[in-house]
Amino acid sequence: MTLEVLLQGLIGGLLMGFVYALIAAGLSLIFGLMEIVNFAHGEFLMLAMFATFWAWALAGLDPLLSLPLTAALLFLLGIAVYHGLIRWILGAPMLAQIFATFGLAVFLRSAAQALWGVDFRLVKDPLVSGRISLGGLFIGLPQLVASVGALAAFAFLYWLIRKTETGRALQATAQDRQAAALMGIDTQWMFALGWGIGAACVGVAGGLLTIFFYVFPDVGASFALLAYVAVALGGFGNVPGTLAAGVVVGVVEVMSGLLIAPTLKYVTVFLIYLAVVLWRPQGLFGRF
Amino acid sequence: MAPALRWGLGALALAALLAVPFVVTQPYPRHVFISIFLYATLAQAWNLLAGYCGQISLGHAVFFGTGAYTSSVLGKELGLTPWAGMVAGVALAVALSQLIGYPVFRLRGHYLAIATIAVGEIVQTLMLNWDWVGAARGFFVPIKRPDSFVNFQFHQSKQTYYYIALGLLLLALGVARRIERSRTGFYFRAIREDQDAAASLGIPVAAYKQRAMAWSAGLTAMGGTFYAQYILFIDPESVFPLSLSILICLVAVLGGVGTLWGPLVGAAILVPLSEGTRIYFGGTGKAIDLLIFGALIMLISVVQPGGIMALAQRGRRRTG
Amino acid sequence: MSAPPLLEVRGLTKRFGGVTANREVSFRVAPGELVGIIGPNGAGKSTLFDLLTGFLRADAGTVALDGRDITGLRPDMVSRRGVGRTFQKLKPFTGLTVLENVMVGAFQKTTDPREAQEQARAALASVGLGGKEDAHARVLSTGQRKRLELARALATKPRLLLLDEVTGGVDQGSIPGLVELVRGVHAEGMALLVIEHNMRVIMDISQRIVALHLGEVIGDGPPEAMARDARVIEAYLGRAYTREAPERPGA
């Protein structure tokens, strides 16, 4: 276990961390708005990855080029899911809310399996490939691009939420639904928008991941679980907080894989989740 | 319905169930019945914690697997009869449940649900890597012949398995019924409805959650031991997976969470449905039945979170 | 006060970040006494209740019931020592029937379901909800829910009852009935600590009033004295409130 290997792992974890952060940001946004955990978030990611893959396989579109398309597609999916399902369970008992998105997750995953089978798929010869060397350390170019892309998307999201009027309306709705409504903000539209943007985040992350990651129906599961941890760590509802949280999760994942055992890396991450929600429920940075 | 009539119908139903193996002699249909009883038992156990007490666990397979592995390992290493192994499994599962409950019950709602998923995943991962019990390869329960009750193995026919499974179900129903009418049951439901109000009335909330957890884990572990002795092969994939935890919930939710008969109703519908889709759709059957399950879960949560029992209540109120 | 106090609060302090919700709050409640707590919004009244009943941890100060320290005890332990409470934001067990709601309270004193049922019935009758036993709690009106919550707390047979907002959110016509209810409970010998915004009501029923302002006790005495206390008046910016002849139905 040389320093070089450790540094290599650190960088890898950092890069993946930005992708995790983007996925978690979508989840956090939705939760901040209506206190609902989207248990189908991983499946949104999976669908984004499949969309990107099929765009490449059927139309020859490189994942980077189809990115805006995937983001738009997922945006629409988010809004559709809101209007078709979530809207009806806003006031329902918590068990019903959990099961609604859980049922959606099961449904989407098995639909993917039924439609496309369980085979692992991979985009071949993407625009971005190979690796660069940085002082003796190697960084995969796809991973770097994905990471930078995720960071860029995250920055855009931050700008959207903090600096635009729509973003402020979203913040207002998240902080006090009734007050926001009294100020003339259309809460229903805010909720739908939240789902749309949250799904679009995952769409971008999925598109970027497809450059180098295998695509298969169950792929969303592990990413989703890591995203939950990142959301808890960053503070439920705290979108900017998920950036640091995502990086922490990414680094811990890789490091525990290196230092403890590859098969146990998720165990460490989950233990962190438990530790965070028990000793610092508000996360590292508190709520929105 | 008059109590006398209710008891009469109940006795009739029980008699019918007892007579089934004499009418149904093919192994496959008997297997379906056994599956229904097993899932109903597991769902009823989950129902105690989640339905009555309101603590949503999405990682209950942990206790199922604990029961399965404990009795199997003790049987192999010490030659212990699976019945004693079952007791040990229950004890271990209960102890584990208290350990898990202590930190996890400080959480509520979604946070609690995710924490239980995390615990389930951690345990499954650990079991997948624990060589002594076979890790991912699994564990074959040593075959013992001839058929014997003490060894809890019957190879000639499924008849005895049927009765044991039925017995487990009746036990679970009995426990649930007893709790439902007692102070414990009231306290469970108060905690479900409003924890703070419950505390203000003198209910030690954490202690009662742990109690619900203990009953729930113990019954689930019994199901695990039964499964191990029935299938005679266990591995982390079959007794610890998240999908099993979800299936248990689904059975209870479909039938009616927080009701006495919900879990049985749910199992009676889901198990044949699952078997049916598997036969009908062949290879992709796995995905199709999950597809239907997913749609069902969504439908129930939107239309009638109370499940079929609640639908029946509504119907009765309209006509009655 | 010759008899030892039932409730003794000393120097109770609670801070939330930069805000001091309760600062050095001290007062006493004698056995069987009805003490009203008044104060403008934000005075720290509900925080006080949460501190007394264990829902919040105090930063300083002590609470003693019958001479025994109950500071920092969990809510269920405080309840079992004999302190009952209602909540400003009502908390009925909506999935249970009215009778079942009160039975939960009654179960503190018995483990037998039949006995709990009897006790619950009695408590419901005493608050005037006798006919609604089998109704689901969620169909009750606000006034009925207030009665339900009172019955539920009464079923635990407390020695001190904390009522958080008796008339809040209730229509004018129902107020006299609720007031009579509280009087009735008091007449049975119960000690009561009542938070109430309706000045008329609180001045009417209280034997003593503790006035809070910005987390501090600014007055502690009989209603007439409080109505004329300069600090209290100043806190409320209201005119001096003189005790009028209370309007009784049918009078």
Mean of pLDDT values over A147-162: 90
Q: What is the pLDDT of residues B202-232, one digit of tens each?
A: 999 999 999 999 999 999 999 999 999 999 9
For residues A183 and A28, the answer to whether their CB atoms sit within 8 Å is no
Residues 6+ apart with CB under 8 A from A65: A127
CB contact under 8 A, A99 and B249: yes
Of B50, B298, B300, the CB nearest to A85: B298
- Look at residue C37 and tell me whether its pLDDT is greater than 90: yes
C positions 89-108 inside 8 Å of B (CB): 91-96, 100, 103-105, 107-108
Selected residue of B52, B181, B195, B200 to mutate for chain C interface (largest C Cβ count, 10 A): B200
Question: What single string gives the DSSP state of each residue in B109-171?
Answer: HHHHHHHHHHHHHHHHHHHHT-GGGTGGG-EEPPP-SS-BTTTTB--S-SHHHHHHHHHHHHH
CB contact under 8 A, C104 and B181: no
Same domain, C128 and C61: no
pLDDT band at B317 (very low <50, low <70, confident <90, very high): low
Same domain, C46 and C67: yes
Q: What is the pLDDT of residues B51-96, one digit of tens each?
A: 999 999 999 999 999 999 999 999 999 988 999 999 999 999 999 9
Q: CA A224, CA A229: separation in Å to the nearest integer?
A: 9
Same domain, C48 and C172: yes
**Which letter does DSSP use for residue C81 in this model?**
T
Range of the domain at C141: 91-157
Interface membership of B201 toward C (CB under 8 Å): yes
Q: CA A206, CA A19: separation in Å to the nearest integer?
A: 9
CA–CA min distance B181, chain C (Å): 7
Selected residue of B106, B178, B201 to mutate for chain C interface (largest C Cβ count, 10 A): B201
CB contact under 8 A, A99 and B257: no
Of A31, A100, A271, the CB nearest to B301: A100
- Look at residue C100 and tell me whether its pLDDT is greater than 90: yes
Compare B293 and C211 and report the one with higher pLDDT. C211
In a domain, B108, yes or no: yes
Compare A280 and C2 and report the one with higher pLDDT. A280
Same domain, C177 and C238: yes
Compare B313 and A67 and report the one with higher pLDDT. A67
Which chains contact C through at least 3 pairs of Cβ atoms less than 8 Å apart? B
CA–CA min distance A231, chain B (Å): 11
Interface membership of C15 toward B (CB under 8 Å): no
Interface membership of B200 toward C (CB under 8 Å): yes
Name the residue in chain C with its Cα closest to that of B187: C104
Same domain, C59 and C107: no
Interface membership of C159 toward B (CB under 8 Å): no
- pLDDT at residue B282 in the model: 58
- Look at residue B44 and tell me whether its pLDDT is greater than 50: yes
CA–CA min distance C54, chain B (Å): 9
According to the CATH classification, is domain A3-116+127-279 in 2.40.160? no
How many CB atoms sit inside 10 A of residue B155's CB? Answer: 11
In a domain, C250, yes or no: no
pLDDT band at C246 (very low <50, low <70, confident <90, very high): very low
Same domain, C147 and C200: no
Q: CA C44, CA C29: separation in Å to the nearest integer?
A: 18
For residues A225 and A77, the answer to whether their CB atoms sit within 8 Å is no
What type of residue is C86?
Answer: T
Residue where one domain finishes, among candidates C126, C157, C188: C157
In a domain, C217, yes or no: yes
- Look at residue C1 and tell me whether its pLDDT is greater than 70: no
- pLDDT at residue A286 in the model: 66
- Look at residue A277 and tell me whether its pLDDT is greater than 80: no
Q: CA B58, CA B242: separation in Å to the nearest integer?
A: 8
The model's pTM: 0.88
Interface membership of C145 toward B (CB under 8 Å): no
CA–CA min distance B288, chain A (Å): 7
- pLDDT at residue C245 in the model: 40
CA–CA min distance B112, chain A (Å): 9
Count of domains in chain B?
A: 1
CA–CA min distance A210, chain B (Å): 24
Residue where one domain finishes, among candidates C157, C181, C205: C157
- Look at residue C92 and tell me whether its pLDDT is greater than 70: yes
Of B56, B125, B294, the CB nearest to A95: B56
Interface membership of B119 toward A (CB under 8 Å): yes
Give the residue among C142, C44, C33, C30 at the shortest CA–CA distance from C86.
C142
CA–CA min distance B83, chain A (Å): 33
Give the residue among A287, A269, A242 at the shortest CA–CA distance from A23.
A242
Q: CA A92, CA B303: separation in Å to the nearest integer?
A: 10
Of A102, A110, A236, the CB nearest to B287: A110
CB contact under 8 A, A270 and B284: no
Mean of pLDDT values over C122-138: 92
CB contact under 8 A, B201 and C108: yes
Return phi, psi of residue C188, to 5°: -75, -5
A positions 1-30 inside 8 Å of B (CB): none
What type of residue is C180?
Answer: E
Q: What is the pLDDT of residues A201-211, one digit of tens each?
A: 999 999 999 99
CA–CA min distance C104, chain B (Å): 6
How is chain A split into domains, by residue range?
3-116+127-279
Name the residue in chain B with its Cα closest to that of C79: B202
In a domain, B284, yes or no: no
What tokens were used for C242? 């003189």
Mean of pLDDT values over C128-132: 90
Of A93, A106, A271, the CB nearest to B294: A106
Same domain, C58 and C168: yes
- Identify the helix (H) or strand (E) that includes residue B81: none
Q: CA B217, CA B61: separation in Å to the nearest integer?
A: 9
For residues C248 and C175, the answer to whether their CB atoms sit within 8 Å is no
Of B181, B194, B199, the CB nearest to C93: B194
Q: Tell me the three state secondary structure of residue C82.
A: coil
- Identify the helix (H) or strand (E) that includes residue C102: helix C98-106
Mean of pLDDT values over A47-72: 93
Mean pLDDT across chain A: 88
In a domain, B99, yes or no: yes
Task: Enumerate the residues of chain A whose CB falls inside 8 A of the CB of residue B107.
Answer: 277-278, 281
CA–CA min distance A40, chain B (Å): 11
Interface membership of A271 toward B (CB under 8 Å): yes
Q: What is the pLDDT of residues A227-243, one digit of tens each?
A: 988 888 888 778 888 99
Interface membership of A80 toward B (CB under 8 Å): no
Range of the domain at B212: 28-241
Same domain, C164 and C206: yes
Count of domains in chain C?
A: 2
- pLDDT at residue C247 in the model: 46
- Of all residues in chain B, the percent with pLDDT exceeding 90 is 54
CB contact under 8 A, B128 and A263: yes
Q: CA A121, CA A215: separation in Å to the nearest integer?
A: 5
In a domain, C249, yes or no: no
Q: What is the pLDDT of residues B93-151, one digit of tens each?
A: 999 999 999 888 988 777 788 889 889 988 998 898 888 888 888 889 888 888 888 88
Q: How far is CA C230 from the centre of its chain?
A: 26
Same domain, C12 and C107: no
Q: CA A69, CA A47: separation in Å to the nearest integer?
A: 13
pLDDT band at C243 (very low <50, low <70, confident <90, very high): very low
Mean of pLDDT values over A100-114: 91
- Per-residue 3-state assignment (H helix, E strand, C coil) for A170-234: HHHHHHCHHHHHHCCCCHHHHHHHHHHHHHHHHHHHHHHHCCCCCECCCHHHHHHHHHHHHHHHH
For residues B288 and A110, the answer to whether their CB atoms sit within 8 Å is yes
Of A93, A113, A281, the CB nearest to B305: A93
- Look at residue B279 and tell me whether its pLDDT is greater than 60: yes
Same domain, C130 and C192: no
- pLDDT at residue A141 in the model: 87
Selected residue of A28, A30, A47, A99 to mutate for chain B interface (largest B Cβ count, 10 A): A99
For residues A252 and A272, the answer to whether their CB atoms sit within 8 Å is yes
- Look at residue C114 and tell me whether its pLDDT is greater than 90: yes
pLDDT band at C56 (very low <50, low <70, confident <90, very high): very high
Q: What is the end-to-end Cα distance of chain A in Å, rounded?
A: 40
pLDDT band at B162 (very low <50, low <70, confident <90, very high): very high
CA atoms within 13 A on the CB side of B235: 10
Which chains contact A through at least 3 pairs of Cβ atoms less than 8 Å apart? B
Partners of residue C69 on adjacent β-strands: C64
- Look at residue B187 and tell me whether its pLDDT is greater than 80: yes
Same domain, C38 and C76: yes
- pLDDT at residue C244 in the model: 45
- Look at residue A152 and tell me whether its pLDDT is greater than 50: yes
